[in-house]
Amino acid sequence: MTNLQQAFSPDSFRQNAHTLVDLLADYLESAQNQTLESVIPYQEPDDSLAYWQADYEQGAGSIEGFFKKTIEKSMHLHHPRYMGHQVTPPLPITAIASMLSGLLNNGMAVYEMGLVSNPLERILSELLAKKIGFNNNASGILTSGGTLANLTALLAARAAKTDVWEDGTNEKLAVMVSEEAHYCIDRAARIMGMGSEGIIKIPTNEKRQIRTDLLEKYYNKATEKGFRVICIVGSACSTSTGSYDNLAEIGNFAQKHNLWFHADGAHGGAVIFSEKYKHKVIGIEQADSVVIDWHKMLMTPALATALIFKRDENSFQTFQQKAQYLWSNQESKDWFNSGKRTFECTKLMMSVKIYSILKAHGEQIFSENVEYLHDLAEKFAVLVKARLNFELAIEPESNIVCFRLTPSDTNLNELNSAIRKQLLQEGKFYIVQTTLKENVYLRVSLMNPLTTETDLNALLDEIERIGNQIFGE
């Protein structure tokens, strides 16, 4: 057997895969029963680099050793004390489906390369469109992350409102957005040539929602300065505090001025699955486009993002490129050639991973997860308020909670930053921090449905302990 034949051998595949499945099942077990002590085995960047350089120098060797070390040295999202960034601990079934799509590797851009994944993508898009409240004219795509999906939505907005794609322009185009919006909106607008002035940041209220009472004023100011506003973006929810903008009022404003209304529901759009919490996105059905990340509250491995359009034709207008070798007819609006509507040419079979959840567990599991995580954040807020030395930044609206330790006579920013740093180095919990109006807050995103109130109390105890230690110095 040649080396290549050996590398493709079904037997060695079977063996390696079994080895890996056993390692991953052990990882899941130890994370869930918390015999795995570290959530994050933190190492300084240069130390980690040196470790892997030494590993690399050893050349080809045991794949099992590599699997083990990767599991051991990575962030452990399945540990109930993982409460950091907004990335889901994926459902185990989706990891298995990832192996399926990884090996089949159907590229998706044209129908023949996505015989299964293109139809599944359409079914999933229609599921979301229905939950959003769109009618049969809606359609959507899957793409690689909320960042790319938001850029694609803004490109669709521009294609709907101008001829820039074909003719270019000197016109000063602008987008309105909350000052709390995810930075990728700002980045997308700059990529599209709008400059810093073309991204009009609207202040937020005490709940960190866009101040809809100021929309008219900011719109007029921009217009007087010679800008043509083409789009307004609502956040559902915002990244740092998890605040849901008032989408119904934004929708009314967009309609009045004939603006494209884009709802960035990358994180919180998932509430459309929950009877209990979908009221948080009332008005989302007025949007022209909606982004929802399957890899945030919907338990799918990254990246898998839905971009749903109210009107099918808008999704075909976005990229009007001719690529004869891919599609014989560029003009036709065929849903099954997904590359016509996405930034990507070759694309991952994301729909297979999502669909595996529906097949294995049913749709209900999405609402269970969304509700558990939102409820848990509410409980956490109660625990924080019950402790004298702690305060909340604001009442949580989603599964994101910002809070801090507040002993008197201390520099609170320094103290809370030092606490977060020590937590990181100890590695028994993973949380992050954020700065709100110049105040440093600790921030948790409760992403893991196996996290319980016991874990949350343990976190607060640990913070208090570290605080006393630092304070006592």
Enclosing H/E stretch for 341: none
Indicate the residue type of 90.
P
- Least distance from ligand PLP to the Cβ atom of residue 144, Å: 8
Rg of the chain over all Cα atoms, to the nearest angstrom: 24
Token duo for residue 247: 């989408």
What residues numbered 442-461 form the site for ligand PLP, per CB under 6 A? Answer: none
For ligand PLP, the closer of residues 27 and 277 by Cβ is: 277
Which one, 146 or 198, has the nearer CB to ligand PLP? Answer: 146
Do residues 327 and 379 make contact, with C-beta atoms less than 8 angstroms apart?
Answer: no
> Rule CB under 6 A: which of 210-249 touch ligand PLP?
235, 239
Distance of CA 218 to the CA centre of its chain: 29
- Closest residue to ligand PLP in the complex (CB): 146
Nearer residue to ligand PLP within complex by CB, 97 or 184:
184
Residue 88 Cβ vs ligand PLP, minimum distance, rounded to whole Å? 11
Residue whose C-alpha is closest to residue 288's, from 255, 319, 321, 311: 311
Minimum distance of ligand PLP from residue 265's CB (angstroms): 7
Task: Tell me which residue of 316, 292, 271 sits closest to 145, measured CA to CA.
Answer: 292
Q: What type of residue sits at position 223? A: T
Orientation of helix 146-161 relative to helix 183-191, angle to 10°: 50
Instruction: Kindly tell me which of 146 and 449 has the beta carbon lying closer to ligand PLP.
Output: 146
Q: Does 353 bind ligand PLP (CB under 6 A)?
A: no
Burial of 431 by CB count in 10 Å (0-12 exposed, 13-18 middle, 19+ buried)? buried
Site string for ligand PLP, 155-184 (x = CB under 6 A): ---------------------------x-x
Of 267 and 340, which CB lies nearer to ligand PLP in the complex structure? 267
Q: Does 145 bind ligand PLP (CB under 6 A)?
A: yes
Number of neighbouring beta carbons within 10 Å of residue 276: 12
Query: Is residue 298 a contact residue for ligand PLP (CB under 6 A)?
Result: no
**Could you say which residues in the range 76-95 bind ligand PLP, by CB under 6 A?**
86
398 binds ligand PLP (CB under 6 A): no
For residues 155 and 419, which CB has a smaller minimum distance to ligand PLP in the complex? Answer: 155
Contact 462, 423 (CB under 8 A): yes
Residue 266 token pair: 């990358």
Q: Is 108 helix (H, G, I), strand (E, B) or coil?
A: coil
Helix axes 117-132, 350-361, angle to 10 degrees: 70
Shortest reach from residue 120's CB to ligand PLP, in Å: 20
Stretch that binds ligand PLP, among 33-41, 44-52, 263-271, 377-385 (CB under 6 A): 263-271
In angstroms, what is the minimal distance from the CB of 388 to ligand PLP?
32
In whole angstroms, the minimum distance from the beta carbon of 212 to ligand PLP comes to: 18
Counting Cα atoms < 13 Å in the Cβ hemisphere of 211 gives: 14
Binder of ligand PLP out of 289, 305, 369, 399 (CB under 6 A): 305
Instruction: Give 145 or 407: the residue with its C-beta nearer to ligand PLP.
Output: 145
Residue 357 and residue 299: Cα distance in Å, rounded?
A: 9
Site residues (CB under 6 A) for ligand PLP? 86, 145-147, 150, 182, 184, 235, 239, 264, 266-267, 293, 303, 305
